[in-house]
Amino acid sequence: MTSCSSSSPLRLGIAGLGTVGAGVIKLLRANADLLSARAGRPLEVVAVSARERTRDRGVDVSALRWYDNATDLVNDPDVDVVVELIGGAEGTARTLVEAALKAGKPVVTANKALLALHGSTLARLSADNNAPLLFEAAVAGGIPAIKTVREGLAADRLLRVGGILNGTCNYILTVMRETGKDFATVLKDAQDLGYAEADPSTDVDGLDAAHKLTILAGLAFGQPVAFDSVHVEGIRRIGAVDQSFARALGYRIKLLGLASMTDAGLHARVTPCLVPQQAPLAQVDGVFNAVVAEGEFVGRIMIEGRGAGAGPTASAVTADLVDIARGNTIAVWGVQTSAQPPLRACPISSGEGAFYLRLMVEDRPGVIADITAILRDCGVSLRSMLQHPAENDSTPYVPLVLVTHRTSEAAMQDAVTRIDALTVVTDSTVVIRIEAA
């Protein structure tokens, strides 16, 4: 990768002046002397692009060149580095990043969806045109997850990577546990507080965490991962009753993104999990994120911090700019090759694990016998069972929780399909994996 180091300013063109874009400009101005000393040269914003020129962003951009078309930043001879903070896997963001790399200009981005879906193509463009592509802010905000996995652990063979990768889901699950409120109520409160978007689907359905896991897995295993092969589940079906049962069993519920490399291949999934209450991951609450990695020599590590917001994300973006100013750049996936096809994860049915099952069943004799017979026929062994009494005599169904020993995912899926077909079971079974974490 080309070094951009010199005594002259590193001139930046920023596309996207939302919360993060404005935050980057504020940080660059507030810490100008510190950053100049650390980077070995000044970092100077010379041009910007956004949709609304007159919008008050809390930062003065009147002295900067303005482009209505973001891709014009690439053609500006005074722009040394393009900073893409528009977001989205397609459209202007993708066009801009690809154009900048083809022109040989370094790119810094916080765009997790773009990297997750098009990382293979972007890595090839970066290598072929000797144009660095840095994206520390794409995963876990201010936590240096990218640098830790790709560089800090470069000497080790990583076996597993992932963690709590979405602050919105972690906040919702934390408040549900602490208050006993249901999902819908806590989600509405989170939206009112600004912790959840008006359309929360990307977060609560697990897609945001899956984007980040796809990137982390690519870095950990030195090859881009096919996003559409990652198994993704969200938290919409987690109820207050599940939080109550989890507490009784000694667990906390977390949405985890985990990827591991085995002899059978890559296993990558985003799913709600039961984590032992005393495990380090179980202690990560609220809007905080945590990234874990496990290597043959280093063992297991965990780093924790704020995973979103203007300050943490702007800090990560600016750290990448410092690296470019210093000439410290590295291949996108940490491996010096430009032609790596995306690695596909194994089907979720090929995995193994222990499981929590919560059913709503008719409160009458013989029901448990019918269910345990199905588990027996599918080769699933039970470890424990819990049942809460009906809230009142008019309630025809009661919650029943089954905890299994370790079994195959395929056997578990078969058993759940058969159980859900029973007339004594209402609604589909809630299945949560149990992780040692």
In order, the DSSP letters of 382-412 are EEEEEEPPPSSTT--EEEEEEEE-SEEHHHH
CATH of the domain at 416: 3.30.70.260
pLDDT at residue 339 tops 70: no
Average pLDDT, the chain: 92
- 87 among the known binding-site residues? no
pLDDT at residue 252 tops 70: yes
Residue pLDDT, tens place only, 154-196: 999 999 999 999 999 999 999 999 999 999 999 999 999 888 8
| Domain encompassing residue 372 | 347-432
CATH of the domain at 24: 3.40.50.720
- Confidence at residue 2, expressed as pLDDT on a 0 to 100 scale: 45
Residue 211 shares a structural domain with residue 295? yes
Distance CA 275, CA 250 (A): 8
Helix H, strand E, coil C: the string for 9-48 is CEEEEEECCCHHHHHHHHHHHHCHHHHHHHHCCCEEEEEE
Distance CA 301, CA 294 (A): 6
- 311 among the known binding-site residues? no
Q: Of 232-236, 260-264, 354-358, where does mean pLDDT reach its minimum?
A: 260-264
CA atoms lying within 13 Å on the CB side of residue 423: 2
The sign of the dihedral angle between the CA atoms of 218, 221, 222, 226 is negative
338 part of a folded domain: no
Residue 294 shares a structural domain with residue 191? yes
- 15 among the known binding-site residues? yes
Active site residues: 212
Distance CA 39, CA 182 (A): 48
Residue 86 shares a structural domain with residue 156? no
Q: Phi and psi (nearest 5°) for 176?
A: -60, -45
Residue 281 shares a structural domain with residue 386? no
- Confidence at residue 338, expressed as pLDDT on a 0 to 100 scale: 55
pLDDT at residue 392 tops 70: no
- Confidence at residue 422, expressed as pLDDT on a 0 to 100 scale: 92
- Confidence at residue 389, expressed as pLDDT on a 0 to 100 scale: 67
- The β-bridge partners of 306 are 288
pTM of the model: 0.92
Structural domains counted in the chain: 3
Distance CA 291, CA 299 (A): 14
Residue 177 shares a structural domain with residue 297? yes
* Sheet with 10-15, side-by-side order of all strands: 65-67, 43-49, 10-15, 81-84, 107-109, 133-134
- 133 among the known binding-site residues? no
Per the CB < 8 A criterion, the answer to whether 24 and 314 are in contact is yes
> Could you please report the per-residue DSSP string of 220-237?
HHTS-B-GGGSEE--STT
Residue 132 shares a structural domain with residue 147? no
- Confidence at residue 3, expressed as pLDDT on a 0 to 100 scale: 46
Distance CA 205, CA 193 (A): 20
**Percent of the chain scored above 90 by pLDDT?**
79
Question: What value does the mean pLDDT take over residues 29-58?
Answer: 92
pLDDT at residue 4 tops 60: no
Structure-token match 């002899």, residue found:
263
310 part of a folded domain: no
- 19 among the known binding-site residues? yes
